[in-house]
């Protein structure tokens, strides 16, 4: 079936440390994935995307890794800051279904 799920519902890190948020997907999920950040009281905001013909993509302080063998992707945030506190979602485009399916979400808390 179609599913995009996250390994951990919560993650706490010290300010300045690196964070890694993980996501798993099933066979029927797609060849395109997006990470979103949702701050309290706001809608999800695009962070970074990756196509399945890529293993890695980097943005500003963020890196997404895709391992197609084990159907896993991760979001790495370097030198986390208080403003990084949010719920992070991975989402996969379902092939042929024209829809974006979201994972459960991981709440990232930054400790001072």
Partner 1 sequence: DTAVSQTPKYLVTQMGNDKSIKCEQNLGHDTMYWYKQDSKKFLKIMFSYNNKELIINETVPNRFSPKSPDKAHLNLHINSLELGDSAVYFCASSQGWKGASGANVLTFGAGSRLTVL
Binding site for partner 1 (CB under 8 A): 30-32, 34, 38, 41-46, 49, 51-52, 87, 89, 93, 97-102, 104-105, 107
Q: How many CB atoms lie within 10 A of CB 108?
A: 21
Regarding beta strands 72-77 and 19-25, do their DSSP bridges make them parallel or antiparallel, or are they unpaired?
antiparallel
Other C-beta atoms lying within 10 Å of the C-beta of residue 12 = 12
Tokens matching residue 95 = 């092939």
Least Å from the CB of residue 56 to partner 1: 16
CB-nearer residue toward partner 1: 14 or 57? 57
Nearest to partner 1 of 19, 44 (CB atom) = 44
Q: Closest separation between CB of residue 79 and partner 1, Å?
A: 25
Look up tokens 């890694």; give the residue.
20
DSSP state of 60: S
Instruction: Name the residue nearer to partner 1 (CB basis): 9 or 82.
Output: 9
């Amino acid at each position: 079936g179609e599913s995009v799920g996250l390994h951990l519902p919560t993650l706490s890190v010290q300010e300045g440390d690196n964070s890694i948020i993980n996501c798993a997907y099933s066979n029927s999920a797609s060849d395109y994935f997006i990470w979103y950040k949702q701050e309290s009281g706001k809608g999800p905001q695009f962070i970074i995307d990756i196509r399945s013909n890529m293993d890695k993509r980097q943005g500003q302080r963020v890196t997404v890794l895709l391992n197609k063998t084990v159907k896993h992707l991760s979001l790495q945030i370097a030198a986390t800051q208080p403003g990084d506190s949010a719920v992070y979602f991975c989402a996969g485009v379902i092939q042929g279904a024209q829809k974006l399916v979201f994972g459960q979400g991981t709440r990232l808390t930054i400790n001072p």
